[in-house]
Amino acid sequence: MKKISSFLLVLTLIFSACSSDDGGGGINPDSFDREGMLKNWADNIIVPAFANFSNSTQSLEDRTNAFVTDPSEANLVELRAAFETAYLDFQTVSMFEVGKAMELNFRNYLNTYPANVSNIESKIEAGDYNLTLPSSYAEQGFPALDYLLFGVAGTDAEIVSVYSSEKYKNYLMDVASRINSLTIDVNAAWQGELRDNFVSNTSSSSTGSIDVFTNDYIMYFEKFIRSGKIGYPAGAFTGDPLPQNVEAYYAGDLSKKLYIRALDNFQDFFNGKHFGSNERGKSYSQYLDYMESMKESTELSSLINSQLDLILSQAETLDTSLKSQVETNNTSMLEAFDELQKAVVLLKVDMIQALYIGIDYVDSDGD
Amino acid sequence: MGRLGRYLNSYTEAAPLAVFRLFFGIMMFASIVRFWLNGWIEKLYITPKFFFSYYGFEWVKPLGGFTYFIFVICGISALMVAMGYKYRLAIITFFLSFTYIELMDKTTYLNHYYFISILSFLMIFLPASAYFSLDALKDPNKIFQKIPRWCVDSVKLLLGIVYFYAGLAKINSDWLFRAMPLKIWLPANYDVPFLGDLLQQQWIHYAFSWSGMLYDLLIPFFLLWRRTRLVAFFFVIIFHVLTRVLFPIGMFPYIMIVSALIFFSPQTHHRILEVVSGIFKINKSRFDNARKLVFAPLTRKITTSVIAIFFMIQILFPWRYLLYPGELFWTEEGFRFSWRVMLMEKVGYAQFKIVDGETGRRFYVDNSDFLTPFQEKQMASQPDFILEYAEFLADHFRKDGHKNIEVYVESYVALNGRKSRPYIDPEVNLLNFDDSFRHKTFILPFDDEIKGL
């Protein structure tokens, strides 16, 4: 007995000796630089993506202004191009719903679809509305623009003639400026304190940046890519396909591009790829490799990457208009959903476990 | 008179039990206050729309705003226990109110809470107010300086069982040879001062696993033995402070440290009580009347029988998992109430599908409509939760006018760093099963082996 107790004593002494040797001193080369990852996310991805998106929404507002000043088919074409660019660029920032964006409900205001067309029409008619109300999510943002620029009348000429009405002009202008002003706010926040707060909050608790962001990142994939872009229109949840739930329903040929842009950006973020360049920095993929290097590897990062590759290559086979894909051959949409679902499991179960991410808003005793 | 008879008739100082009672009561009071101040009553027992019940205790539910009242009762009774005021009434009230709280929602199940429940049950039968209590102060006839030895020993035995069984449970291949789940948990403490970088080292994960197992198995014996006691107590402090730093386990480490004092000699406890007396200006010598508390024959018979049965259950109950097929960590059949502490990192995902059995129409459930994130996390990796939730969903949608309801779940679970795999058979209608203690056949096989106890 005495032997064992002195053995235990020696064991603790070894522990404490080692901890003062290694732990007290400099940086451990084996340790993953989590702050470096947050810096890469903020400085090389999030901040430039918002800056770029902010340019797009500014030009969207400018083009809208030009169109309502002079409603012509030429100006409509230009405006539509600005709309398409901005909508695609939105896919590069939509997953960053933290900080100011979360506070403003940025994603809800910019991209709640399907748009509520009858409400939009009655508000235009009344000329009296308040787009800052949460109840008006479905009456503004890109889905409202999609309707106003593509669905409000049959031909381009007819659409242009709709904008001889001051009421339509005003509404269109208000929707475009609101997208821009919300984006200006979020962009300004990232240019300022938000970046520093985000990067310095390296706490391992459920309120630390990594935990908070990871929960949102995965939720974005599950709810906004899997369910929003594919699941609801394909009727994966109800068994009834609902083509009117497709993103950019009226623009027709835009929906697949939006889906692919969102997938691309999701994967690029996973791999720490800098915004607008092919350079890579610290990322989930490296973090997973680091955590997995400690155990018999399951190569989770490559499993996730190959599943995302699979989803992307399946996406390429879809009709440029997901609406017509739902209407003509919904099976491909359901196949897309099944592949997305496999990625959800990898992210939500395996990645959460490997990185030991706490779930939101809960802190209670464990044992 | 045999050895047992001689043992039952041997007496010891009442001071250790009195100190235990005092600290236990204070710790429990502090726990209740802390729980309240953290907003957990609201978050865990008022906010959720649905609560998971233990089998057979479906009638135990939070009482809305009155739930606070249960915590008030529990807190007051804990203080009364500490002071030894109307002790028997206080400890019974504490046991009932605390146990009621724990039974309200099994989402919050912790071995630590179970420990408190059964410990307070045991204390109902112990003469913990015979010394250094208000009861005794008010009525000198109730003062006994000496009590039967088994009264103090039964607390030691319970502590010993908790540690030893926790140690036995660690003798498994995941814990010892894969250093799981510590390999997942320890690196996540990267921001702990001084230790953060060290916790990234693999050899540390193994060292913690092995020494944790040895600690749990051996510490009761080293505490019992006079010559190793002081060193052992030093280890108790190190071990529990370390767990407090590394894991979110609240008050429990302090409770265990204080509880371990009971292994010390009566002299030590007299010294502790002298300090307490000094602070509160209590005349401690009034209690030192050298009287022995001798139970009436019938009382003794009943009390010792109850305690004997209690310990038989405690010793046998953790082995009930042997009656179930399949991997214990996977099915969790017989997992709870067995001192399997910190053995698993389990993450699950469960998507429920409600189907109209006649028309085939279906829709999926958004779990966040009904469960808090914490409840959802617990539910997704435990079959009894999944079953109970399926019943709840069926009731809910039946009330909404849905007919011929069938409930299916697509679920995945990752256990101790293994890749996730399907958990519940997605083809079975969960409504075909009633919750029971029988093996749940709808759990898919684990297809791996965790060797060991």
Q: How many domains does chain A have?
A: 2
Does residue A138 share a domain with residue A220? no
Mean pLDDT of A191-201: 94
Contact flag A367-B189 (C-beta cutoff 8 Å) = no
In a domain, A321, yes or no: yes
In a domain, A9, yes or no: no
Residue B79 buriedness (CB in 10 A; 0-12 / 13-18 / 19+): middle
Contact flag A203-B191 (C-beta cutoff 8 Å) = yes
Contact flag A352-B347 (C-beta cutoff 8 Å) = yes
In degrees rounded to 5, what are phi and psi of residue A58?
-65, -45
Which residue is associated with the tokens 């390296």?
A202
CATH assignment of the domain containing A111: 1.20.1420.20
Does residue A289 share a domain with residue A196? no
Residue A81 pLDDT > 50, yes or no? yes
Does residue A176 share a domain with residue A87? yes
Does residue A232 share a domain with residue A127? no
Range of the domain at A347: 203-358
Integer Cα distance of A60 and A51 in angstroms = 14
Contact flag B190-A19 (C-beta cutoff 8 Å) = no
Candidates B35, B162, B228: best to mutate against A (most CBs of A within 10 A) is B228
Candidates B114, B192, B201, B251: best to mutate against A (most CBs of A within 10 A) is B201
In a domain, A94, yes or no: yes
Give the 3-state secondary structure percentages of chain A, helix then strand then coil, rounded to 5.
70, 0, 30
Q: Is B110 on the interface with A (CB under 8 A)?
A: yes
DSSP letter for B443, please: B
Does residue A230 share a domain with residue A85? no
Select from A230, A236, A239, A237 the least CA-distant residue to A319. A230
What is the maximum span of chain A, computed from C-alpha positions, in angstroms? Answer: 96
Does residue A209 share a domain with residue A63? no
CB-nearest to A359 from B205, B364, B377 is B377
Does residue A257 share a domain with residue A229? yes
Contact flag A359-B373 (C-beta cutoff 8 Å) = yes
In a domain, A4, yes or no: no
pLDDT, position B80? 98
pLDDT digits (tens, 9 = 90+) for B209-223: 999 999 999 999 999
Contact flag B373-A352 (C-beta cutoff 8 Å) = no
Does residue A123 share a domain with residue A63? yes
Task: Examine the fold and report which residue of A181, A200, A219 is the final residue of a domain before the chain moves on.
Answer: A200
Does residue A304 share a domain with residue A217? yes
Here the ipTM equals 0.89
Does residue A326 share a domain with residue A272? yes
Candidates B35, B199, B347: best to mutate against A (most CBs of A within 10 A) is B347
pLDDT digits (tens, 9 = 90+) for A278-333: 999 999 999 999 988 777 666 899 999 999 999 999 999 999 999 999 999 999 99
Integer Cα distance of B413 and A356 in angstroms = 14
* Nearest-by-CA chain B residue for A235: B363
Contact flag A354-B184 (C-beta cutoff 8 Å) = yes
Task: Examine the fold and report which residue of A155, A184, A200 is the final residue of a domain before the chain moves on.
Answer: A200
Does residue A215 share a domain with residue A194? no
Task: Examine the fold and report which residue of A138, A172, A200 is the final residue of a domain before the chain moves on.
Answer: A200
Does residue A218 share a domain with residue A119? no
Beta carbons within 8 Å of A271's beta carbon, 6+ residues apart: A280, A283, A284, A285, A305
Contact flag A367-B111 (C-beta cutoff 8 Å) = yes
pLDDT digits (tens, 9 = 90+) for A54-65: 999 999 999 999
The residues in B 279-338 lying below 8 A from A, measured between CB atoms, are none
Contact flag A356-B178 (C-beta cutoff 8 Å) = no
Supply the pTM of this predicted model.
0.90
Residue B405 pLDDT > 50, yes or no? yes
Integer Cα distance of A89 and B182 in angstroms = 42
CB-nearest to B420 from A18, A27, A349 is A349
CB-nearest to A356 from B188, B248, B376 is B188
The sign of the dihedral angle between the CA atoms of A117, A120, A121, A122 is: positive
Select from B355, B384, B342, B391 the least CA-distant residue to B370. B391
Integer Cα distance of B312 and B153 in angstroms = 15
Mean pLDDT of A43-66: 98
3-state secondary structure string across A276-335:
CCCCECCCHHHHHHHHHCCCCCCCHHHHHHHHHHHHHHHHHCCCCCHHHHHHHCHHHHHH
In a domain, A152, yes or no: yes
* Spatial contact of B380 and B372, defined as CB atoms under 8 Å apart: no
Q: Is B44 on the interface with A (CB under 8 A)?
A: yes
